[in-house]
Structure formats: C-alpha cells, structure tokens
Structure 1
Amino acid sequence: MLPQANKSWYWSEKNLEFAFILNQFGVPMSRRLKNAQLQTLTLDSDGKVALHQQLFLALRQAILDGRLKPDTRLPSSRSLAADLNISRNTVLSAYDQLTAEGYLVSRIGAGSFVSDQLPDDLLQRKTDGAHPDLRERDIYLSKMAAPFKGKVLRPANRGLPFSPGLPALEVFPFDDWARLLARHWRRPAREYLVDNPIGGTKALREAVASHLGQTRAVRCHADQVIILSGSQQAIHLVVRAFAEPGDAIWMEEPGYPGIRDSILAAGATPVSIPVDEEGFSLALAREIAPDARLACISPSHQYPLGQTMSLARRLDLLKWAKEEGRFILEDDYDSEYRYAGRPLSSLQGLDDDNRVLYVGTMSKVMFSGLRVGYMVVPEDLVDVFLSLRRIIDNHSPAVPEAALADFINEGYLAAHVRRTRLLYEQRQKRLVTLLEDKLGDIVTVTGQESGMHLVAFLPPHIRDTEIERAAAESGMLVRALSGFYNLPTDQTGLILGFAGTREEEMPHLVDKLAAIIRARAK
C-alpha cells in the first residue's frame, strides 16, 4: 500500500522527501520504484534477485540521483515493510547493507538517515548509462601495451557457419567423453584435487607425447610436453622467452594475427616475410631482417593460404637456426587433417639440434571450449618454460586432463580424427563445387590438400572487409583475407571454414554469400 499521511515519520520536511520516493512505487501489487529518468525498478517476488537486494538497489539509486537528500530520515523497518507488503527482515537487510556501504547512518533512538558525508561528485552522478570520466586523457603505457591502445577486439562468434577452425561438433563422441569425465570426477585422485604439475598432468603429457610421435613424427618424451590453455598461450611464451624489446621476429605474410600480437606484446618488432608456393622463404627473410631472433611459421599448412613448406626450405631453415644459434616456433594447428598423400612429418621431427619449439592444440580435433593446447620444448629449456608458465597461471585443471589422457590412450581421439577426416574431405569438395557453380565468374577457389578451411580469392575491386561485415549480419562468419596481411596489398579474398558447416546447409549459405558478393561486384 502507499504510505499514509497519519504516520508519525511522514510529516517532517525531510520525511516528505522520502514520501515522494515512496509515492513513486505506484500500484501496490507491482511494488515499483521509478527513478528520475522515469525508468522502473521492480520488487518482484518471483525474480532472480532477492527482494532485499532489489530494495537496496532502489534506495541506493534514489540517494545517488539526489531524490533522497542527505540527512533525510527513512521510515522504520516495520513501517516500510507494511507499506510495501514485504517482510521486515527484508527491509532490515537492505538497511544494513546501505549502512555498511556508507549510504545510511544509524542514530540511536532516532532511526536511519541518509548520510551527509557522501561526496558531491557521487551524488551528482548521471544515470543514463554513460561513464562520467570517458574523456581523452594522457596515459603512459609501456612499449608492450601501447600498440593495443584503442584496438577493438572482434567477437569470436566461432559457432557460426563457415567459421575457420570450427570442427564438426555434432559428430563428436560426447557420450564417451562424458563417461571418461565421470570416471575421474566420481572418485578423483587426491593429487587432481590438491594441485597439478605446472606442465600438466603426467598422464596427459605422456599421452600427448605418444600421440605426436605416432601421428606427426615429433621426437620427444613426456617431460618435454607442457600442457597449456591453448596454442595462443604457447605462442606468447615462446616469443617472451626469446625476444628482447625491439628485436626483429620473422613471421609469415599473410599470417596468423595472434603471432603478431604476441610479438608486439613482448615489445619486439614483427617482420613480415611474404610466402610463395613453397611457403616461408629464408633467403628473403635474411635480406629483410638478417638479425632476427626467432622465426614463427606454420610449415605443414601455412595459415591462411595453405601452402606446404618444401623440404629444401625446411632443411635450410633448420641449418640457419643451428648455425646462428636461433630458434623456430612451429605452429602445427590442424595438420591432423590431410586429404592427399601421406601425412607430413613435423619440422620438429627433422630437427637434430633442438632448435624447434612445437605448438599444437585440441581445439581443432575436439572443441575450442576444452581450452587445451600444448607445446614441445627442447630438454634444456623445460625449466625455463615451466617457470614462465607458472608466472601466468601456475597450472591447468587436472581432472579434465586426466579424462583427456584416457580419451587419447583408449583410442577415442584417433577414431574421431579418422571419421572427421573423411567427413571434412567431403564437405570441402561440396563447398568448392557450390562456390564454382554460384560464383565461378567472380571468385577463384581450389580445394586444399589439408586443413579445415579454404580461400576464395576475389577481384581487387571487391573489398573483402565489406563482405565479412555483410556476411556477419546474415549469420555467417567469413574472414577477410586482407586482414591477415601486415604489408600493403591488393589481394582480397575470403577465408571459409568447411569442417563445422553441415553439407545440407551449404547450398542455402552459399546462395546468401553469392548475393552479398554480387551486390558489391557491380
């Protein structure tokens, strides 16, 4: 009910101010409190927020808006509870919280009053959602942080059709995965609950070492494997380990933006080396930046163009690292999926001088929400990378790692990769056919021998960034190829993931994409 005029607290000048607030509660059944901007807060018995918290927020807002002036006396908890038809304990809880946070003061024998010690700038705060201090100001940022000032992070949205790197989630054996998780959560080993080694669960490190040896010819033992929260964390650690501020670091052009960001975050200088049909060129790299400290490459499946680095160039790069005392970061992000010829050996498997740091991820073969990546480091650098990792987050979650070790050791991962390899090959063929049928006069596209995405090249006059934005508005995630270049380029195109897009959905999706492209090709 609304406050009544015959209540003793209601008649003083200060209490009249509070009466004005209470009169804005409106219809008794809705228990509403309107603020000065005519927005409505509701005390809802069925809401997710507790009634005492709703009342606290409503009264606090009235204080901040200036509708409840300093030194205003609030009604007794019993009176307000009766007026709002709520429990007295609810009002007491709200008052207690307001008092604890300094909005109210309690005076013995007199009641609760709005504090007269609130700063003027707090009382004058605007409530239209705008931040009061969003003004230009000079901020000193380190050389490592300055490159990211004002950078807008794109939302991932990797669950959308054509998302590069999105696996076929609908065929993942979740029943088996759930059973393995339940096995370890039902009776978890004590060491999984108390802590986890910095490098990851021993069982998973052993499983990954065995898996990589069989599938990628990686030469390592379990102690060289470090489990991380993803390949990006591994890239960050490698760059930080070898780059001094200002040092030149080679990366591929076009290349993975995450590598460039990690180089910038280390205060180093990314040096873009254009790739050709044989992949990364050491000769060109030495011409551009002969003193580079590190080479960051994806030799088995260049990202995003898809070339495979020739054997001759691999051996030359390993020779350079050995003779110059340098190191190589090998990003082997999706090489499990090869559709022509025998699986390629890793660069690390050819290394006879421990110069390669191998980086991989489970995001492509399983799902990105798992947040498991790994790196294989030379034996004499294990302690260095464990220490660097500990600075970031100490260790990863143990129980999911134990389940993942079983998933690998009991053959579920290998079986899943075999199934999805056949599925992805078929999906790639279907997408290529549709693109050629619908857009063959505009785009140039060919199937790739490996991976989970392909590139549809566009004529230079079509801006791929516009296509990317329009596709996102239509519920598709395609990446503009030009965004992966650091040097000026006229090359435009679209990076299209096919692995996670159902074949039966592709005709409709390609029709939508074709309409977007043709509208901008005129």
Structure 2
Amino acid sequence: MPQAKNTLTIEIDRHEASPIYLQICERFKAAIAAGHLKPGDRVPALRGLATQLNTARGTVEMAYNILVDEGYLQMRGAAGTFVSSSLPGAVTRTATRKSRADAPRVRRIEPAADIGHDAKPLRPGLPALDAFPRKVWSRLVAYRARSGDPAALTYPEPSGYRPLRERIATYLGLSRGVECVPEQVFVTSGYRATLELILRSLAKPDDRAWFEDPGYLLARNFLVETGVRLVPVPVDHEGLDVDAGIALAADARFAFVTPSHQSPLGVTLSLARRMKLLDWASRADGWIVEDDYDSEFRYVGRPLPALKSLDRDDRVIYCGTFSKVLFPGLRLSYVVAPERAVERFGQLTKSMNAGSPYLFQAAVADFIAQGHFARHLKRMRALYAERRMLLANAIVKAFGNSVTIDLPTGGMHLVAIFRTGRDGPIDDMAMAARAREAGLAVLALSAWYLNGRARHTLRGIVVGFANVADAAEAARLARMLRRAYDG
C-alpha cells in the first residue's frame, strides 16, 4: 500500500494571523500540489500529527474534515486517512502556481459583497425608514438646537453625553437585565469605534480571538485590519460551538459573539452554551464581546436577557447600537465597560476622539426620556413581524422547493438557504452579484464564512425585510430574486 514519504513534514507558524487548522490545510494542499503527496498516499494519523505539531487533536481533526469536504483527503475508517485517489488534475496544476502568500486566511470581503451605505431594497440591517417618527425627532432636534445650551457649541464629552449614558444604563437594566452604572457606559460613533475602544483598552500583541463562522462581515473586516488573530469557530443550531472554540484555541483572549440573534443565521445561543462560554472566559482570563445589535426585535415571546445579565465575573463587554432601532445615520453606539477597565476606557476615549456630536446625543436622550423610544420599539416589533411574513411567503412562492427558510424568532433579516442542485452547490456569490446588478442589496450567505467555497458551507442569500412595504412589493422583489437565481 502506498505510504506518505518519511521526509514529509508539516510545519506551522504560530505568529501567523491564519488559524493553525487552516495552516495545516494549506500545508497539505501545497504538499499535494508539489507532488510530495500523491493520490493514495497515507497521511499522518490525527493523534500523531497533533503530537508532532504540539497542538490539540481537535485542531488537526477540523483541518482533516475540511480537506475531506474539499475532496483532498479520504477517510477509510481503521485503515487511516489517504490522499484522494480521484483528485482532479486541475488541483495540482493550479495549486503549483500558488505561493504561500496566496494561502487563504481570515480575509476581508471584497467591496462588491460589502454591506453598503444606501437604502436599496432588501438591505440587511436597515431599519424601516418609512416608519421612523420623523416629526417627533425633528421637534426634539430643533428644540436642542434652539436651546442656547453652551454644550451644543463646545467639544462634547469624550465618554458621551451624561444624561444619555444615564438613560442607556436605565434602559439596559430594565429591558436587557444588564446591571451597570452610567460611568460604565461609553458612547461611540458606531460598532467599529466600539471595537477599536475595546481592543485598545484590553488587547495585547498577537492576541487570538474566537469569531463566529459564519460571522458578522463588518466586524470581521475591521478585526482583520487591526491584526487580531481570528480563530473561526463554527456555529450550529445552538449558536457558537464553545467546545470547538476550546479545542481550536483554549487560550484565546477574546470571543466575539452575537448571542441573542446570531449574525447571520439568526439562531440564539443556548443557555448551556452561554454558561459554558462564561466558564471558559473565567478560566482563561478572557473577554467576551457581546454584540446585542438587534435584540429588541423578537417576535416570539419577550426579548431574551443579554448574556451580560448572566455574567458574575465581569468578563462580558456589552455592545449596543441605535443604528438598528432608530436609523444608521445617527452614528451612535455604546459599550458597557467591565468595572475593572472603566478608568482605562475613560483615558482612551479622551485620546481617541473628541466625542460624538452633542446635538444627536441630547435628542436621543430626550427621545428615550419622553417615552418615544419605548413606543417606537413596540410599533416596530409589530410592523417587522408582519413584513417578515410577507417577504418569507413571497420568496417561498417564487422559489418553491429551491429554497428553505426558517423564520427567525427575531432580527431584521431572513436567510434563504438554497437546496443543492443536480450539478452541485448553487453559486450564491454569482446569484447575489446578479441581484445587486438588478438593484437589490442582498448578500451571499457563503460570504459570511471564512471558507465560503468549502462543501459544508451553506449557500443562500441574506435579505432584509424591514423596508418591504406590502405584499405587492414583497412579490415583486421575490420575482427579481428568482430571475437572479435563474441567471
């Protein structure tokens, strides 16, 4: 029986941003491309390679599973694992031309697949602009602009307008179960600014961080740019797979999660996983960054308490935003700092920027204090529940058995998953590109994964429903999606 050459060695670089399991994948692909491993050759056993690399067995197992999914390896039970005997010739021809610098890493998505900044139909994450109470908002802004308060003309407080921080702390305690004081609340100019504040306050060089796979695109883009060593951790029907995260990087410094409504799959992190995640953070001296981006919109029962509400060791950093509940043009977000880091956060806000504009902060504080915020959320829950059904029904009617849609219990977007066709997985990236050319702001589901071309990756589209006005518009948009699907 053919054997792998004794001289074959697999090496990893722990200083690379790419996770170890991906490095293992690329080393095997390079060995196959160079002819060091040939079809039918046996590859090292999981335990043996894990010992050689001084890494967890689960890390090697995940790499092998990916290589099997992509057709490079075959598992033959007790006989071992072998290079696929049916490996396409194109694999070696194209791979030979690839340099190590071309190896897939945790990547920034291409601009064509980015979230975007306009109000095109079906844009995920865009609230119902037609239902925002503009008259009330205009009155509050005008009142603050005419007030003559000197604070409107001077530099704003870097940590945020004090009355707004007080309103946020009260709101989080009542609606999300988050116990905090105003001094822990820091107002930022968006989630990106929030992440920058967190990392500059708590991160160290070469820190590793768990990141949901699939996970939030814009957060991934920014984290990649900062040089954080992301460790993609799979997501299933219970949310982030904490056991997989521990197997991949038990010593990670951060875990970035969307527990209330996972982005993009929409699942909720189960209570068992929440407790396991908190236990990991406590034992590993790590930080959990909870992005609670649209938790206010839940259509089955009451909104779930935040992960932060279960935190007894002060390991969860809670992040929220007004972009989803009011409108993104506000550029107002907030973060609840751990008690032990409040001083550090405060110092950095002074050096990072001069604070968010007073006018909008004061208007939002008034909007909350006068009860408009609570009434607006109540109206939007009812409206979004209706629009969610309109779009889901229209897509199912237009696509028939070609897609499956699990109605999300919350959030502002749907995920339509394509069924595998007779010729294999549907190219959702190409379909989404055609839809964008037609004027629809949809995103391919596979773009949210680290390795969007792997066989196990779900294919589909992520579509926002908040701005679908009625059944007629839903039907029209669904037909446009179907035409893009048909090519």
Residue 401 (structure 1) shift? 0.7
Identity of aligned residues (%): 40
Residues 1:464 and 1:152: Cα distance change in structure 2 (over 3 Å):
closer
- Counterpart residue type for residue 261 of structure 2: H
1:150 & 1:449 partners in 2: Cα distance?
A: 30
Within 5 A, what are the aligned runs for 1:112-191?
154=114, 156-191=116-151
- In the alignment, which residue of structure 1 is the partner of 2:266? 306
Are 1:444 and 2:404 counterparts?
yes
- Counterpart residue type for residue 479 of structure 2: D
1:391 & 1:412 partners in 2: Cα distance?
A: 34
Residues 1:434 and 1:366: Cα distance change in structure 2 (over 3 Å):
same
For the Cα contact (< 8 Å) 2:108–2:220, is it kept in 1? no
2:289 & 2:391 partners in 1: Cα distance?
A: 32
For the Cα contact (< 8 Å) 2:109–2:447, is it kept in 1? no
Residue 508 (structure 1) shift? 0.9
For the Cα contact (< 8 Å) 2:391–2:468, is it kept in 1? no
Q: Secondary structure at the match of 1:275?
A: strand
- In the alignment, which residue of structure 2 is the partner of 1:217? 177
Within 5 A, what are the aligned runs for 1:252-267?
252-267=212-227
Q: Secondary structure at the match of 1:440?
A: helix
Q: Secondary structure at the match of 1:199?
A: coil
- In the alignment, which residue of structure 2 is the partner of 1:494? 461
TM-score by length of 1: 0.69
2:115 & 2:256 partners in 1: Cα distance?
A: 25
- In the alignment, which residue of structure 1 is the partner of 2:198? 238
Q: Secondary structure at the match of 1:194?
A: coil
- In the alignment, which residue of structure 2 is the partner of 1:515? 483
- Counterpart residue type for residue 506 of structure 1: A
1:153 & 1:493 partners in 2: Cα distance?
A: 14
1:195 & 1:435 partners in 2: Cα distance?
A: 49
Given the alignment, which residue of 241, 244, 248 partners 2:208? 248
- Counterpart residue type for residue 129 of structure 2: L
- Which stretch has the larger CA shift, 435-444 or 485-494? 485-494
In structure 2, the gaps of 5 or more residues are 1-105
Which string of whole-angstrom CA distances, capped at 9 and with x for unpartnered residues, describes residues 52-104 of structure 1?
A: xxxxxxxxxxxxxxxxxxxxxxxxxxxxxxxxxxxxxxxxxxxxxxxxxxxxx
Within 5 A, what are the aligned runs for 1:428-443?
428-443=388-403
Given the alignment, which residue of 276, 286, 297 partners 1:326? 286
Given the alignment, which residue of 350, 355, 373 partners 1:390? 350
Within 5 A, what are the aligned runs for 1:68-79?
none
- In the alignment, which residue of structure 2 is the partner of 1:483? 447
Residue 322 (structure 1) shift? 1.7
Which string of whole-angstrom CA distances, capped at 9 and with x for unpartnered residues, describes residues 361-380 of structure 1?
A: 11111110111111111122
For the Cα contact (< 8 Å) 1:245–1:266, is it kept in 2? no
Within 5 A, what are the aligned runs for 1:58-69?
none
For the Cα contact (< 8 Å) 1:295–1:327, is it kept in 2? yes
For the Cα contact (< 8 Å) 1:424–1:499, is it kept in 2? yes
- Counterpart residue type for residue 463 of structure 1: D
Number of matched pairs: 374
Q: Secondary structure at the match of 2:169?
A: helix
For the Cα contact (< 8 Å) 1:239–1:263, is it kept in 2? no
Within 5 A, what are the aligned runs for 1:374-385?
374-385=334-345
Given the alignment, which residue of 363, 372, 377 partners 2:332? 372
Residue 505 (structure 1) shift? 1.3
Which string of whole-angstrom CA distances, capped at 9 and with x for unpartnered residues, describes residues 11-61 of structure 1?
A: xxxxxxxxxxxxxxxxxxxxxxxxxxxxxxxxxxxxxxxxxxxxxxxxxxx
Question: Once superposed, what is the RMSD of the aligned Cα atoms?
Answer: 1.9
1:508 & 1:174 partners in 2: Cα distance?
A: 28
Q: Secondary structure at the match of 1:328?
A: strand
For the Cα contact (< 8 Å) 1:244–1:267, is it kept in 2? no
Q: Secondary structure at the match of 1:348?
A: helix
- Counterpart residue type for residue 492 of structure 1: R
- Which stretch has the larger CA shift, 272-281 or 317-326? 317-326
If asked which structure has higher relative contact order (CA below 8 Å, sep 6+), I would say 2
- In the alignment, which residue of structure 2 is the partner of 1:506? 474
1:154 & 1:393 partners in 2: Cα distance?
A: 26
Given the alignment, which residue of 212, 228, 233 partners 1:268? 228
Q: Secondary structure at the match of 1:175?
A: helix
Residues 1:152 and 1:444: Cα distance change in structure 2 (over 3 Å):
closer
- Which stretch has the larger CA shift, 364-373 or 240-249? 240-249
- Counterpart residue type for residue 431 of structure 1: L
For the Cα contact (< 8 Å) 2:145–2:152, is it kept in 1? no
Residue 157 (structure 1) shift? 4.0
Which string of whole-angstrom CA distances, capped at 9 and with x for unpartnered residues, describes residues 367-414 of structure 1?
A: 101111111111221121222233332211112111110001111111
1:155 & 1:330 partners in 2: Cα distance?
A: 21
Residue 340 (structure 1) shift? 0.3
For the Cα contact (< 8 Å) 1:480–1:492, is it kept in 2? yes
- Counterpart residue type for residue 352 of structure 2: I
For the Cα contact (< 8 Å) 1:334–1:451, is it kept in 2? yes
- Pick the structure with greater CA Rg: 1
